[in-house]
Structure 1
Amino acid sequence: MPLPSLKEQFAALIAAPSVSCTQPSLDQSNRPVIDLLAGWLDDLGFACEIQQVTPGKFNLLATRGSGPGGLVLAGHSDTVPFDEQLWRTDPLKLTEQDGRWIGLGSCDMKGFFALVIEAVQPLLAHDFKQPLLILATCDEESSMSGARALAEAGQPLGRAAVIGEPTGLRPIRMHKGILMDRIDILGRSGHSSDPSLGHSALEAMHAVMGELMGLRQQWQNTYSNPQFSVPTPTMNFGCIHGGDNPNRICGQCSLEFDLRPLPGMDVEQLRAAIGAKLRPLAERHEVKIDYAPLFPEVPPFEQAADTELVRLAERLTGHAAEAVAFGTEAPYLQQLGCETIVLGPGDIRCAHQPGEYLDMSLLDPTVRLLRELIRHYCLH
């Protein structure tokens, strides 16, 4: 049975729902996408290994050729949730309109796998001197558990890895890290007419936020990288909850915040610095302060500018490697010994939006670029 065309593959991938979400009511298995890819790649002669990461969540590693080097073409098989009423087209159906392929995951980033398959087909008649590995992960849009599981397993992959996130076909060699943490303060409630009757969690949190803002300023004074559009680390206080009535001393208060460190900033040292500020505040305000991550962090990522992969990508695309603010699975592939960049079609500004699309003018350039990367790392 002949392989479906590029457009048919695109349509089938978009039609296979694979929402990844921290809310269980919205979360879905990615197995339908993994099975589609494994079926097509098996027909092309790839050895396909499907790895269960957690119940209902799977990674796919498809390999052609063998040896210690080679190329990894990687992406995630999941999408974010979607608001169907805000879409003008069916989000799970490929729609061609105004020179665009529209659908959930067209840009971020299930469509990338169809372009990889299109790129590799004419090369399959050649002898692969080094392996080509096609990697599809689960849960990138929530916990990154698929990439984390690979990094923890420690099995070496290839010499170079290209993650096909939407970068407008411009190579990316750096991005910030992502920490999402929470601070819970337990004080003691009491009647507001006499402050000595309790210990205010809200006043303690006011002091905590002051210390955090001081650390933020200190880090912004110390660390800067002009390659980023926002050149310093950022800290955002995202939500706060506390107390229940004006005439009660606040007994409990919670803060959730997001910290985006630059490459070169050590995540453990940042958290240790925050912890060191909290301990004396707990004593002074006579409250209990609990500080913990909401999710495991995504480390900052940097691939050295003078590496073979960065220079090759710059030559093939005609663009100098850049930095982006969004996080990816790049640090985990780097941990497995791969020179790593982020490079794919599409525009990050339309990702996670109703009407997500991939401009059809990028289809052929992406296929040509992927073909050149495969030739360089696997055939020469």
Structure 2
Amino acid sequence: MDMRSILERLVGFNSVSSNPNMALMEWVRDLLAESGVQAVLIPDATGAKANLYATVGPQDRGGVMLSGHIDVVPVDGQDWTVPPFALTERDGRYYGRGTTDMKGFCAAAIAATIAAAGRDLKTPLHLALSYDEEVGCLGVRSLIEMLEGAPQRPAMCIVGEPTSMAVATGHKGKVALRATCTGREGHSALAPLALNALHLAADFIRAIRDVQGQIAAQGLRDGDYDVPYTTVHAGVMRGGVQVNIVPNQAVVDFEIRSLAEDDPEVLIARLRDAAEAIVAPLRADFPEASIRVDRLWDYPGLGTPSDAGVVNFVKGLTGANGTIKVAYGTEGGLFSQRLGIPTVICGPGSMAQGHKPDEYVSQEQMARCEAMLAALLARLETGL
């Protein structure tokens, strides 16, 4: 089966992160089996979702891993002019949810794995497909645990997130956090006698903005990023029942996206100190006053040196001269930091099309991706 046919089938699965993905993964497993490639499914606790891992070639050496996620973001509330879960080919583009982020690369990687089965590889090719990347790089962790116990790990990894086929060496890490603000309820006619949790939340957001301002003015900088410093951002604020009740609880969900050189734990400690400074003066009258900051999930940043072997290797496959860094997060930092696998990001399409209605990847980008993977197979036949 060729890349286009595989992409058509992948897009046809509604693999929004909240949905099961087992049917999709079983289809890929069975497709690979037709070419003699045995893939392992790594299910989650419910059995409704799974990662997939397959190897072609010798089992006693490192090799190259192609990594992609098959979950996609929702289409709810978006104005699509084409069916989001059916492939539409028009004007030199493939349209459909996930074509850029990142079923286009996954289709090319699956096709390359099938082609590899008919080649005499001296160095192995590995295929890793994950779930729940879009909700915090959560699903891939069980695959990483499997590789931690494996006798051999891949020697390098290409994560095929969309980079317009440039070779990306880095991205920021992310920590998602929640501040739970506790006050005291009361009738709004007597509001000054209560402690409004939404007001506490607003004060905490002010602290977030102060920290961000200090980072922007004085923090570490990396000019390879569009925003060259660590960012702290409040995304959700919830609280209250109705306007005549002073709310006793409010929640602020926020995030830190940190440069590889920045330690997010330092920022979390600063924000916890700021939270305590907000509520400490209130406890004489309201002993229950608190702002508790909890970590929800995180993934590490990626900071592969520009002169690393994997960088030069993938540049040789693509013909690239330089490297870039990307604004969005990937699973690459987990492969690099948890497993010690040198990793780069390189895939077809642009994230400017990702997560939008009428998402697409161009046929030109897919052709360049296929050419890179063909060059990879040729190198694996010679043993790198």
Q: Normalising by structure 2, report the TM-score.
A: 0.88
Structure 2 counterpart of 1:236, one-letter code: H
Residues 193 and 361 of structure 1, relative CA distance in 2, 3 Å threshold:
closer
Structure 1 counterpart of 2:45, one-letter code: T
- Other-structure match for 1:301: 302
Query: Secondary structure at the residue paired with 2:293?
Result: strand
Whether 2:204 is the aligned partner of 1:208: answer yes
Please report how far the alpha carbon of residue 17 of structure 1 lies from its aligned counterpart in structure 2 after TM superposition.
Answer: 2.0
Residue by residue, what CA displacement relative to the aligned partner does 1:10-38 show, whole Å, maximum 9, x if unpaired?
21111122111xxxxxx211112211211
CA distance in 2, matches of 1:249, 1:361: 58
Query: Secondary structure at the residue paired with 2:228?
Result: coil
Please report how far the alpha carbon of residue 369 of structure 1 lies from its aligned counterpart in structure 2 after TM superposition.
Answer: 0.7
Whether 2:56 is the aligned partner of 1:64: answer yes
Among candidates 154, 161, 168, match of residue 172 of structure 1: 168
- Other-structure match for 2:286: none
- Other-structure match for 2:314: 313
Q: How many residues align?
A: 370
Residues 312 and 201 of structure 1, relative CA distance in 2, 3 Å threshold:
same
- Other-structure match for 2:41: 50
The 5 A counterparts of 1:363-374 are: 363-374=366-377
- Other-structure match for 1:238: 235
Residues 279 and 361 of structure 1, relative CA distance in 2, 3 Å threshold:
same
CA distance in 1, matches of 2:275, 2:66: 43
- Other-structure match for 1:16: 13
Residue by residue, what CA displacement relative to the aligned partner does 1:24-55 show, whole Å, maximum 9, x if unpaired?
xxx21111221121122222222211110232
Query: Secondary structure at the residue paired with 2:297?
Result: coil
Please report how far the alpha carbon of residue 125 of structure 1 lies from its aligned counterpart in structure 2 after TM superposition.
Answer: 4.1
* Alpha-carbon contact 1:45-1:64 (below 8 Å) kept: no
- Other-structure match for 1:35: 26
Q: Normalising by structure 1, report the TM-score.
A: 0.89
Identity %: 28
- Other-structure match for 2:275: 278
Residue by residue, what CA displacement relative to the aligned partner does 1:229-280 show, whole Å, maximum 9, x if unpaired?
1101112222323445666655333222222111122233332232232223
Please report how far the alpha carbon of residue 61 of structure 1 lies from its aligned counterpart in structure 2 after TM superposition.
Answer: 0.3
Residues 36 and 216 of structure 1, relative CA distance in 2, 3 Å threshold:
same
- Other-structure match for 2:293: 291
CA distance in 2, matches of 1:95, 1:73: 26
Residues 67 and 269 of structure 1, relative CA distance in 2, 3 Å threshold:
farther
Structure 1 counterpart of 2:79, one-letter code: L
Please report how far the alpha carbon of residue 193 of structure 1 lies from its aligned counterpart in structure 2 after TM superposition.
Answer: 6.7
- Other-structure match for 1:147: 140
Query: Secondary structure at the residue paired with 1:174?
Result: strand
The 5 A counterparts of 1:109-148 are: 109-148=102-141
Residues 292 and 378 of structure 1, relative CA distance in 2, 3 Å threshold:
farther
Among candidates 141, 151, 158, match of residue 154 of structure 2: 158
Among candidates 326, 348, 352, match of residue 349 of structure 1: 352
- Other-structure match for 2:335: 333
